[in-house]
Amino acid sequence: MSDDVRNHLSTQSSPYLLQHAGNPVDWFPWSADTLALAREHNRMMLVSIGYASCHWCHVMAHESFEDQEVAAFMNRHFICIKVDREERPDVDHVLMEAVQMLGQRGGWPLNCFLMPDGRPVWGGTYFRRDQWLGILMQLAELFQANSPELFDQADQLSQSLQNRQDNIQDKESTLSQAALPDAMVVKLLARADKQHGGTLGAPKFPLPDGLRFLLMTGHGTHNVSVENHLRLSLENMGRGGIFDQLGGGFARYSVDDHWHIPHFEKMLYDNAQLIAVYAEAFRQYGDPFYASICRKTISFQLEQMRGDEAGFYAALDADSEGVEGKYYVWAQEEFQQVLGTDAELIGAYFGIGKQSFWENGRNVLQLSASVPVFCKENKLDRGLFEQTLRQATIKLLQYRNTRTLPGIDDKRLCGWNALMVSGLTHAAVVFGENEWLLQAHKTLDFLLLRMTGTDGRLYRTWKNGIAEIPAFLEDYALLIQALIDVYQAGFNETLLIRAKQLTDHVIENFYLPEKALFSMSAHDQQELIVNPVETYDQVMPSSNAVMCMALVKLGSFFEQEDYVQTARKMIDQVAAMMAEYPGNFTHWGQALYVIKNRRMLIGRGAAASAAISEIRNKLPSDMLVAATAAADSQIPALNSKPFIPSGMYWYCDSTGCRLPVSTASEILHQVDN
């Protein structure tokens, strides 16, 4: 279709929607007006959901949505709606559940057919052109014939969706909240891949939240099995093809069970969380390899994914020039061309032609061994090899940079950027890198100034100077989490106060007392047949789990037990599922671990902030810290302790507060005991 013939997507800001603005399909964006149009004309709706860096979305678009015959049939019989799942996670969540209830596999592109009143009736993921055209014809015929089968299925599916929302807590947990974290660890280790790390099977996702849960609980119990699993997972992920060995950053998942061949798209939410994971692993285990992975991932984010006006882009595409992974893969001849006499040595290190071989003479770089092991096996001087490796990496990157870069989805998403703020902050504290903390502050300022309306409400997306789409629970919860994290890195009380203000807004506008959980959309935002409640932790933590953790922490800082009790009630709703499906509830597990221990270090006095910052890396990861040099504080946990100018510190936990001490060594002694 020519560029001057556009559908209804041409005014949208989403890069994914704009990719389809020139399709012959008469796409509409998801909106109240579009839904009303379907009702007015009594037309079925096709809702096609994807995202800009989705490989199979591109394939189906090229095969079907750019095809004149297919488009003409779609336009004649359906109101066709394109949705960017990253902009509208609520639409994606509900329609994905509907499709999976029909026995279909989940994934993207997600194509779901709706009745004119918005009830889903059928759907699936990727379809070849011939399959797709057949499905369109069959559904159009059934609808025109007023088929009872079609209407009955819409009724049943809508009722099933409503029942799922009404029965989130389908049974009581047989375990107490105190016993749950340990039980979850046992089940997680039973599903662990003992050879490659991660969970058994393929495709293999990094699942950073599960790693954070094990880091938190394993550190507290000194569980050797947990440590062994974490080390195996982190080592193999960092050495595998899922990690960009030249440019840094993780791909979304590997298609195999040993982290070699990635699905090449790089997502902000994965890398933001994995920065925190590798920083925490370095803090606990001191392995310089973890530090290297963390630093390379941050460099990738700062160099390639940072926006001109602050904030970080959403994703880097898997494809370039229409070929998946073309930007990243290497032929053996290219290594020879770029590196000359060093090609054989560096090729052996990266497994060229052996471990790294993929297909069609191409290699996805992975490390054949760690540098110390490689040097020992090949009788190499480590210092000289590391120098050669650094020079070779520069040359390879320079050559790779002449290739066509994959497309960037340059919208900023509030929640994902908040995850990056938390990741940068955690790494800055662990490594003492003030520049990273400065970037975290800049991003936080961007979210608070550019993605917040005059009424104080947040927006989900920002692009080209415009903030759009009312924020979802995910955005609020992750921003609250980021504010708490940045507060603990510098003790600026205005951040914690803002976190509490946002929390009170969320309680007022998202909380469902009858479910003791929060809805995905605000009460006045609902456009779907149900307002979903998200409880499962997946590649990102569920918004309810993040909110639960925030309530516990803010309840401690502001001495509001009602916050903590709300968090406990939330955990009661999912406790049985936590015990049965721990892999889907690992952020909940972290929240429960924090509730169980309720540990906080409080410092008052001139040197309090500096003293706590100095020992921060020696404290348990679940411990909250608060400090002030001022005689008066707006944080009740601080103000409840006497002000002593020379400095005094209190260690508190679920049993109460210990006697105050005046030195860092005394603090650590209390914590250790």
> Quick one: pLDDT band at residue 603, thresholds 50, 70, 90?
very high
Residue 274 has pLDDT above 70, yes or no: yes
Q: What is the mean pLDDT of the chain?
A: 94
**Token match 């080209």: residue?**
464
The dihedral built from the CA positions of residue 271, 277, 281 and 284, taken in this order, carries a sign that is positive
Tell me: the pLDDT tens digits for 31-69?
Answer: 999 999 999 999 999 999 999 988 899 999 999 999 999
205/255 Cα distance (integer angstroms): 9
As a whole number, mean pLDDT of residues 371-376 equals 95
> Quick one: pLDDT band at residue 1, thresholds 50, 70, 90?
very low
Cis peptide before 203 (omega within 30 of 0): yes
Residue 247, token pair as written in the block = 């440019």
The helix/strand/coil state of 636 is helix
Tell me: the pLDDT tens digits for 132-179?
Answer: 999 999 999 999 998 889 999 999 999 999 988 887 766 677 788 888
262/277 Cα distance (integer angstroms): 19
Helix residue ranges per DSSP H, 519-560: 543-557
The helix/strand/coil state of 514 is coil
Instruction: Output 314 or 529, whichever has higher pLDDT.
Output: 314
Instruction: Give the count of beta carbons closer than 10 Å to the beta carbon of residue 257.
Output: 16
H or E element, residue 366: none
Half-sphere exposure of 488 (CA within 13 A, CB side): 29
575/578 Cα distance (integer angstroms): 5
What percentage of the chain has pLDDT greater than the value 90?
87
Predicted local confidence at residue 170, as pLDDT: 63
**Which whole-number Å values give the CA distances from 396 to 241, 343, 403, in the listed order?**
16, 11, 11
- CA 341 to the chain's CA centroid: 42
The 3-class SS string of 424-447 reads HHHHHHHHCCHHHHHHHHHHHHHH
Determine contact, residues 578/588, Cβ cutoff 8 Å: yes
Beta-carbon contacts of 373 under 8 Å, excluding residues fewer than 6 positions away, are: none
**Exposed e or buried b for every residue in 351-378, given b needs 16+ CB within 10 A?**
bbeebbeeeeebbbbbbbbebeebbeee
Tell me: the pLDDT tens digits for 575-595?
Answer: 999 999 999 999 999 999 999
Predicted local confidence at residue 2, as pLDDT: 38
H or E element, residue 273: helix 268-285
The helix/strand/coil state of 650 is strand
Residue 322 has pLDDT above 70, yes or no: yes
Residue 290, token pair as written in the block = 């973890």
Residue 624 has pLDDT above 80, yes or no: yes
As a whole number, mean pLDDT of residues 281-302 equals 98
Predicted local confidence at residue 165, as pLDDT: 82
243/250 Cα distance (integer angstroms): 4
The DSSP secondary-structure symbol of 520 reads: S
What percentage of the chain has pLDDT greater than the value 70?
99
Instruction: Give the count of beta carbons closer than 10 Å to the beta carbon of residue 626.
Output: 26
263/55 Cα distance (integer angstroms): 9
Beta-carbon contacts of 461 under 8 Å, excluding residues fewer than 6 positions away, are: 13, 14, 87, 411, 412, 413, 414, 467, 468, 469
Predicted local confidence at residue 287, as pLDDT: 97
Residue 170, token pair as written in the block = 């389908």
As a whole number, mean pLDDT of residues 279-294 equals 97
The separation between the first and the last C-alpha atoms of the chain, rounded to the nearest angstrom, is 71
Predicted local confidence at residue 71, as pLDDT: 97
Predicted local confidence at residue 4, as pLDDT: 46
Residue 339, token pair as written in the block = 């590196």
* E strand residue ranges, 534-629: 600-604, 624-628
Q: Is 528 left (phi over 0), alpha (psi -120 to 50) or beta?
A: beta
Cis peptide before 109 (omega within 30 of 0): yes
As a whole number, mean pLDDT of residues 401-429 equals 97
> Quick one: pLDDT band at residue 230, thresholds 50, 70, 90?
very high
Strand 27-29 and strand 78-84: pairing? parallel
Determine contact, residues 361/351, Cβ cutoff 8 Å: no
Determine contact, residues 445/294, Cβ cutoff 8 Å: no
DSSP 436-492: HHHHHHHHHHHHHHHSB-TTS-BEEEEETTEEEEEPPHHHHHHHHHHHHHHHHHH--
The dihedral built from the CA positions of residue 560, 671, 485 and 541, taken in this order, carries a sign that is negative
Beta-carbon contacts of 567 under 8 Å, excluding residues fewer than 6 positions away, are: 548, 549, 551, 552, 555, 591, 595
Predicted local confidence at residue 222, as pLDDT: 81
Tell me: the pLDDT tens digits for 241-251?
Answer: 999 999 999 99
H or E element, residue 262: strand 262-263
Instruction: Give the count of beta carbons closer than 10 Å to the beta carbon of residue 451.
Output: 24
Nearest to 330 by CA among 322, 321, 339, 143: 339
609/628 Cα distance (integer angstroms): 6
The 3-class SS string of 113-144 reads EECCCCCEEEEECCCCHHHHHHHHHHHHHHHH
As a whole number, mean pLDDT of residues 215-225 equals 87
Strand 362-363 and strand 266-267: pairing? unpaired
Nearest to 208 by CA among 648, 539, 630: 539
Instruction: Give the count of beta carbons closer than 10 Å to the beta carbon of residue 10.
Output: 14
- The amino acid present at 190, given as its one-letter code, is A
The dihedral built from the CA positions of residue 492, 498, 503 and 504, taken in this order, carries a sign that is positive
Tell me: the pLDDT tens digits for 73-84?
Answer: 999 999 999 999
439/489 Cα distance (integer angstroms): 13
Tell me: the pLDDT tens digits for 511-533?
Answer: 999 999 999 999 998 788 888 99
Tell me: the pLDDT tens digits for 87-128?
Answer: 999 999 999 999 999 998 889 999 999 999 999 999 999 999
Residue 3 has pLDDT above 50, yes or no: no
Predicted local confidence at residue 173, as pLDDT: 76
Tell me: the pLDDT tens digits for 420-468?
Answer: 999 999 999 999 999 999 999 999 999 999 999 999 999 999 999 999 9
Write phi, then psi, for 317 (nearest 5 degrees): -65, 155
585/313 Cα distance (integer angstroms): 27
> Quick one: pLDDT band at residue 652, thresholds 50, 70, 90?
very high
